[in-house]
Structure 1
């Protein structure tokens, strides 16, 4: 090229240096993503609680709802199979929930791992007391869109 230039020197190539590698940035980005994923996996049980803690909590809310006469909330805490069974029997889910209460006030006394129809579950022992009588039942809690009460049987 020839011609009048703004400066005395001729035009210079815009990229005269050796190109820089961006591999370090890509490796750091992938490493950061992996670190965030591992942190999320570790933090999830800390935020939601262990299966035992979740089972204990849902049964506590369930018992409090039944004691307060809030069968709608108690019915919502039942698993889908129990709600379906209530519908088949012509009951509301809350009325089905009432069948889980032998008498008096329930208190959670223990939780242990169990299984229901091949699915991991938590078996929550509940002690019932009305002053004169005492009984224990076991409520089965499964993870189904959150922890849900899915069965009751005499403790034993």
Structure 2
């Protein structure tokens, strides 16, 4: 190719050097993503609390709602199966929730792991103080869109 050039040397190729690889950047991005994922997994129980803490808290709120006569809140804390049973019986979920509570004031006495219909659950012992003495009930808590109360049996 001939012709007038701006510079005397002639046209040069635009990319004359050896191409650089960007493997370090890609490896750093993958490593950073993995580190964030591990940190999220480790931090989640710290933020939400353990299954035992969540069960203790939901039963505490449930008992406080029952004691205050707030059947709407207590009914919302029931699991789907209990809400369905209430619907079958033709009662509101809050009225169904009242069936869990003997007369008196309830207090969480302990929590242990359990199982309900093949699903992991927490069994929360509730001690009821009434005028004559105290009775105990075991309330089952399952993880269903958050911890939910899903059954109650007298402790034996």
TM-score range relative to shorter protein: over 0.9
Partner of 2:85: 85
Which sections of structure 2, spanning at least 5 residues, go unmatched?
none
Match of 1:98 in 2: 98
How far off is 1:25 after superposition? Answer: 1.2
Once the two structures are TM-superposed, the CA of residue 104 in structure 1 deviates from its matched residue by 0.9
Aligned to 2:54: 54
Q: Which residue of 2 aligns with 1:142?
A: 142
**Helix, strand or coil for the counterpart of 2:109?**
strand
- Compute the TM-score of the two structures, normalised by the length of structure 1: 0.96
2:8 and 2:93 mapped to 1: Cα distance?
90
Distance (Å, rounded) in 1 between the aligned partners of 2:3 and 2:31: 52
Name the count of aligned residue pairs: 156
Q: Distance in 1 between matches of 2:139 and 2:11?
A: 84
Q: Secondary structure of 1:106's match?
A: strand
Query: What is the alpha-carbon distance in structure 1 between the residues aligned to residue 130 and residue 117 of structure 2?
Result: 33
Q: CA RMSD in A?
A: 1.0
Output the CA distance in 2 between the equivalents of 1:111 and 1:15: 69
- TM-superposed deviation, 1:24: 1.2
| TM-score using structure 2 length | 0.96
Gapped regions of structure 1 (runs ≥ 5): none
**Aligned structure 1 segments of 4 or more residues deviating by more than 3 angstroms:** none
For the residues of structure 2 that align with 1:5 and 1:103, how far apart are their CA atoms?
Answer: 101
Q: Which residue of 2 aligns with 1:70?
A: 70
